[in-house]
Amino acid sequence: MLNRVVLFFYFLGFSFSSSILAQTFRGEGGIIIDYADDISPTIYELSVEGLPDTSSSSFGLETVCLHIRHAKTRDLKIELLSPSGTLVWLSNRNDDPMHYGYFETCFEQNGFNGSIINGSYRFSGSYHPEGRIEYFNNGQNLNGSWFLIISDLEKGDIGKLLEWSITIGDRPATYDVQFCKDDDLYTCMRDRYNEGHTLLPDLILSRKLTIQNIEYFPDTCSMSPYRNQLRFAAAMANIGDGPLEILGNGDWRCGKQKGNRTEPCPDGSYPRQQVFQRIYSLARDSLLTESKPGGYMYYDTQPGHNHFHADHWVRYSLLKKKWWRKNPKKWKVISTSDKVSYCLYDNMVCTDENMYCTDKEELYSKHNLKNYGFGNFTACNSQQQGISVGGIDYYGKFYEGQFLSIPPDIKCGTYYLLIEIDPENYYQEIDEDNNTEMFKIEIKEDKNGVKYLN
């Protein structure tokens, strides 16, 4: 009898845990256009109608599913565009070493298999996307044409979208914490800080995301475009009191001449605008903002980008330790990147489950970040970019610039990958000493003389 009762409640529970009022809309597939000297994204349309005209935290997009056969998933950037114009990355150049595709892959906020960036081989099941689908559920009308946009960013391997669907219902992706929900910012902050407190950001590098996504392509990878490269992901999280927020001044310059923001200068480079960091502080009866000069921003046209980047955002180096020198700055530099630029926005968040945000052994999430969700940076535009409190800006290992060139004749042994955020110190933070992380890199050689990472 007891068993039957338990079983009854189990089924009851199960039926309530899936969405009660959900509708699935299906779209057709087709060939994915290969890269040919220029990107031509393949766009698939799907029509949604008959739904209530506003999305919310209790009604909105729940799941996006797709089925792709493709010989090299790391060539693909997959995005979803809503009828109101919100664009979210689902997966960007994630690798399936078996060359199979995305085999019945679903994206949802609490993807059972974790983030797609750590998925591989078939990518079957439900994953957290590389962007944030909760951005669709901000009050916008979900009726109309949705577009799945697949860009093949490298020539040579081809594939096909077989089908795709979106599910909209009463268990939507939502913001985990609604920051200062019913109050204005000042009222919120007055209860948290003393007068005069400055709400600075604090950037850290996610050690976990780099460790999970690092790969060496030795000299023997003669067919690989990544030959003699150490490739790795890098992700910056903000664990401070306020957002890292930058605003462009709108004055685009080619040197001293005026330029057009998305057109190259006479020398082929792209014009720069100066950016200012917006800093919030608590006054007696209001929240003040001031703008401090920061770095520069430009239009980036590399495959998969076509948006605005903050210059000199991060620097990578591969070092060989000199045992008699404590300071890594004095170690031998084997390879160094130019200062790499990034588009600053939140494509992930710090949670207790993903454990992406740690500093000095402490885990950061909504539980200890007082202003979790402060800031809201959903796109890489030129007027405003940033990283919210508790937000993460992730760059995967196959994105442009995410590598160091390795000398073909590098000796086996122990090296250190050094990643420095904001190496020019353009931006003010609570703690400037936690912007650097080091990773031990052990290069070994097998009996055929092929080098690999231990």
Question: Quick one: 92 or 137, whose CB is closer to Zn ion?
Answer: 92
Question: Quick one: 259 or 401, whose CB is closer to Zn ion?
Answer: 401
Q: Least distance (Å) from Zn ion to the CB of residue 25?
A: 30
SS3 71: coil
In the complex, which residue's CB is closest to Zn ion? 305
Name the phi and psi angles at 361, rounded to 5: 70, -5
Q: Which of 180, 167, 140, 131 is nearest to 57 (CA)?
A: 140
Which range in 51-59, 179-187, 216-224, 337-345 contacts Zn ion by CB under 5 A?
A: 337-345
> DSSP state, 395?
E
Own/partner pairs, 115-124, CB within 8 angstroms, 24+ separation: 115/348, 115/354, 116/90, 116/91, 117/209, 117/212, 117/213, 117/233, 117/394, 117/396, 118/212, 118/213, 119/94, 120/94, 120/95, 120/96, 121/96, 121/97, 122/96, 122/98, 123/73, 123/91, 123/94, 123/96
Which range in 185-193, 216-224, 297-305, 351-359 contacts Zn ion by CB under 5 A?
A: 297-305
Residues 132 and 107: their CA atoms lie apart, in Å, by 10
Q: Least distance (Å) from Zn ion to the CB of residue 71?
A: 25
Question: Quick one: 239 or 421, whose CB is closer to Zn ion?
Answer: 421
Q: Least distance (Å) from Zn ion to the CB of residue 138?
A: 23
Question: Quick one: 78 or 343, whose CB is closer to Zn ion?
Answer: 343
Residues 209 and 299: their CA atoms lie apart, in Å, by 27
Q: Where are the alpha helices (DSSP H) in 125-199?
A: 185-190
Q: Could you tell me whether strands 413-421 and 253-254 are parallel, antiparallel, or unpaired per DSSP bridges?
A: unpaired
Question: Quick one: 61 or 88, whose CB is closer to Zn ion?
Answer: 88
Q: Least distance (Å) from Zn ion to the CB of residue 306?
A: 8
Q: Least distance (Å) from Zn ion to the CB of residue 300?
A: 5
Question: Quick one: 190 or 397, whose CB is closer to Zn ion?
Answer: 397
Q: Least distance (Å) from Zn ion to the CB of residue 397?
A: 14
Pick the binder of Zn ion from 39, 153, 247, 343 (CB under 5 A).
343
Q: Least distance (Å) from Zn ion to the CB of residue 305?
A: 4
Query: What number of chain residues touch Zn ion (CB under 5 A)?
Result: 2
Q: Least distance (Å) from Zn ion to the CB of residue 127?
A: 22
Q: Provide the CA 406 distance to its chain's centre, in angstroms.
A: 26
Question: Quick one: 198 or 262, whose CB is closer to Zn ion?
Answer: 262
Q: Which of 401, 405, 402, 398 is nearest to 335 (CA)?
A: 405
Question: Quick one: 303 or 423, whose CB is closer to Zn ion?
Answer: 303
Q: Least distance (Å) from Zn ion to the CB of residue 423?
A: 18
Q: Which of 304, 284, 280 is nearest to 292 (CA)?
A: 280
Show the tokens assigned to 104: 């019945």
Site for Zn ion in 37-96 (CB under 5 A): none
Q: Which of 111, 109, 96, 418 is nearest to 234 (CA)?
A: 418
Q: Least distance (Å) from Zn ion to the CB of residue 382?
A: 13
Question: Quick one: 114 or 303, whose CB is closer to Zn ion?
Answer: 303
DSSP string, 187-235: HHHHTTS-TT-EE---EEE-HHHHHHSEEEE-TT-TT-TTTTEEEE-EE
Which range in 136-144, 166-174, 340-348, 404-412 contacts Zn ion by CB under 5 A?
A: 340-348
Question: Quick one: 166 or 343, whose CB is closer to Zn ion?
Answer: 343
Name the phi and psi angles at 419, rounded to 5: -120, 125
> Residue 429: how many CA atoms within 13 Å on its side-chain side?
23
Residue 441 engages Zn ion in binding (rule: CB under 5 A):
no
Question: Quick one: 166 or 387, whose CB is closer to Zn ion?
Answer: 387
CB 146 within 8 A of CB 81: yes
Q: Least distance (Å) from Zn ion to the CB of residue 340?
A: 10
Give the per-residue contact string, 298-317, with Zn ion (x = CB under 5 A; - = no): -------x------------
> Where do contacts with Zn ion occur on this chain (CB under 5 A)?
305, 343
